[in-house]
Structure 1
Amino acid sequence: MTRKAYSFVRTFAPEPDRDLRVDRHYLLCASAGVLRLEAQGQAWLLPPARAALIEAGRPVRVSIPRQVTTASVLFDPDFAPVPPAPLTVFDLSPLARALVSECGAWGESDEPLTAYGETLFAALAAVTWRLADQPSPVVVPAGRSPELRRALRLTQERLGEEVRFEDLAAEVGVVPRTLARRFEAETGMTWRAVLRRMRVLRAIEELAAGDTAVTTIAFTIGYTSLSAFNAAFRELTGRTPTEYRASFRP
């Protein structure tokens, strides 16, 4: 019988979207690199120092734009309660990081957990389930209709360019007013707000990937003003880009 909870660390090469569904509650942490997760019409970015809590049996689409190393913990549904949401991404506290690291000593096995191990995994569940009540705002809508999903994909591909909404609508095959209504109805956001959020997400990927200067990142993702980039970044994350990068590194 497999343990009530276990942990493992793996490194994955870049790969396109694939579906993930596991029969246990899944705590997924990126220790190096970035993962993209999509579920229920929304997309999340998972950089270092963040975690995703996925409910057992819930389908999630995962993509790996660059090599990533993950630390994962799986909990039997009889061992840990149902997570507060099917998928939640949140910041790891220092205590949660320490517990994830300590739980790494117990991999998948037919041997039962020791009393100490069971206590550690129970503590990790208690801490991370509580953190999941305060999800990260770094999320973008994925869209439902083919037209909107294509508009989102085209926007994502052109973040470093001067993107015009009218041109986007023409490529999708609808008039701008119709596409604007689609954004409001399917995302609850304007296209401009989605663009701003996508640019911040791309900046987070770049911040996690290495030591590229913040100014270079800002210009690469389409900002012509460092102050405007810093303001947009702080509005979404509550931190400056430099502070956010520092949070990746314990």
Structure 2
Amino acid sequence: MTREAYAFVRDFAAEPARELCVDRHYLLCASAGVLRLEAQGQAWLLPPARAALIEAGRPIQVSIPSPVTTASVLFDPGFAPAPPAPLTVFDLNPLARALVGECSAWGDGEEPLPAYARTLFAALAAVTWRLAEQPSPVVVPAGRSPELRRALRLTEERLGGQVRFEELAAEVGLVPRSLARRFAEETGLTWQAVLRRMRVLRAIEELAAGDAPITRIAFSVGYTSLSAFNAAFLDLTGRTPTQYRASFRP
């Protein structure tokens, strides 16, 4: 019999998407680097200072664009209640970060947790379950149909340059009006709104990767105006790029 809750810290090299499914509620945190998560037709980016809470038995796709260090905490469904949603990504507050660090002293094992550790894991569950009720708004739809999934992939590949909707539609074999309808039906967003989210997500990835100037990041994700980049970033995340980067480094 394994412990009712346990934690571990692990380094991963870059790797393509693979399925992750565990029999415990899974709190996944990136302490260095960035993870990409996909489930239920949506995609999330998990940079440092953010966490993903995954319900037990829920399969998700995980990809690692570059080397990453993760801190993971697993809760037996009998120890912690079902999360607010099958998968949520949210900001960790200082208390949650401290609890994750403290819980990392107890890895998997057959011996029961001491009373102090049980209290810590229970407190961590209470705090992060509450935080998960306010998920990150920066989510990109993954699409259902092959045409839309390809359109999304091509859009993401061309973020740094000029992305033209008419050319995109032609490449996936649809007229622009039909592709626009696919975006509305499958994502609930326009292509322009999806493009903006993708650019902000790529910028978050760049912000987490190092100390590149904000202006350089703005241009690398396709913005020709720093003010337009800052406005889009603030609108989607509630923070400026500088504030967001600072939150990675408590």
- The answer to whether the superposition gives a TM-score over 0.5 is yes
Deviation at 1:111, TM superposition (A): 1.1
What is the DSSP-based 3-state SS (H/G/I as helix, E as strand, rest coil) of the residue aligned with 1:183?
A: helix
Across the aligned residues of Structure 1 and Structure 2, the Cα RMSD in angstroms comes to: 0.3
**What is the match of residue 66 of structure 2?**
66
> Could you tell me which residue of structure 2 aligns to residue 34 of structure 1?
34
Does residue 32 of structure 2 align to residue 12 of structure 1?
no
1:3 partner SS: coil
How far has the Cα of 1:17 moved from its partner?
0.4
Q: Secondary structure at the match of 1:129?
A: helix
Secondary structure of 1:235's aligned partner: helix
**Deviation for aligned residue 1:138:** 1.2
Letter in 2 for 1:51: A
Q: Residue in 1 aligned with 2:194?
A: 194
Runs of 4+ in 1 over 3 A off after TM superposition: none
1:2 and 2:17 are equivalent in the alignment: no
Query: Partners in 2 of 1:240 and 1:125 — Cα distance?
Result: 29
CA distance in 2, matches of 1:153, 1:181: 17
Alignment partner, residue 137 of structure 1: 137
Alignment correspondent of 2:99: 99
User: In the alignment, residue 66 of structure 2 is paired with which amino acid?
Assistant: R
CA–CA distance in structure 1, aligned partners of residues 105 and 194 of structure 2: 41
The alignment of Structure 1 onto Structure 2 pairs a total of residues equal to 250
Q: Over residues 92-143 of structure 1, what are the superposed CA-to-partner deviations in whole Å (9 max), with x where a residue is unaligned?
A: 0100000000001100011110000000000000000000000000110000
Q: How does 1:1-250 map to 2 (within 5 A)?
A: 1-250=1-250
Q: Which structure 1 residue ranges, 5 or more long, are not aligned?
A: none
* TM superposition score normalised by structure 2: 1.00
What is the SS of the residue equivalent to 1:84?
coil
Alignment identity in percent? 83
Provide the C-alpha distance between the structure 1 equivalents of 2:49 and 2:204, rounded to a whole number of angstroms.
12
Unaligned runs of 5+ in 2: none
1:42-96 alpha-carbon deviations (Å, 9 max, x no partner): 0000000000000000000000000000000000000000001000000001000
The residue matched to 1:173 in structure 2 has which SS?
A: coil
Structure 1 position 184, deviation (Å): 0.4
CA–CA distance in 1 between the matches of 2:69 and 2:139? 21
Counterpart Cα distance in 2 of 1:152 and 1:62 = 17
**What is the SS of the residue equivalent to 1:163?**
coil
Separation in 1, partners of 2:139, 2:67? 21
